Structure 1
Amino acid sequence: MSFSDQLRHLEQPANISLLLEIKRGLEKENLRVTPQGYLSEKKHLSELGSALTHPSITT
């Protein structure tokens, strides 16, 4: 199941309550998706800066 498929699943009215049960989150900065919703294998763009020094991102 692609990332887009998973999002569509969560958007269904019967599944929206699942989002309210989330108590913690996990961020993996280097995981990006393609326009088709699959994991991208491209490298992180240097223009986006570093999460280790970004004032709005905590790691």
Structure 2
Amino acid sequence: MDNAIKDHWNSSVKKKLNSHIALVMHSCDHTEKESYLRQIVDMNTIIRFCIQAG
């Protein structure tokens, strides 16, 4: 059961990261791009921590 939950979690997270990346790629405002990139890096750090802890 734990593996199924981890797989579902990973899938959901990848979808969210992909949507953020798409926003960054299509955003024209430099400030927005930097903000989105910081969010992506923060999410990636949190995800790695959770996977290692979990």
TM-score normalized with structure 1 length: 0.30
What is the TM-score of this pair, normalised by structure 2? 0.31
Q: Which has more radius of gyration?
A: 1
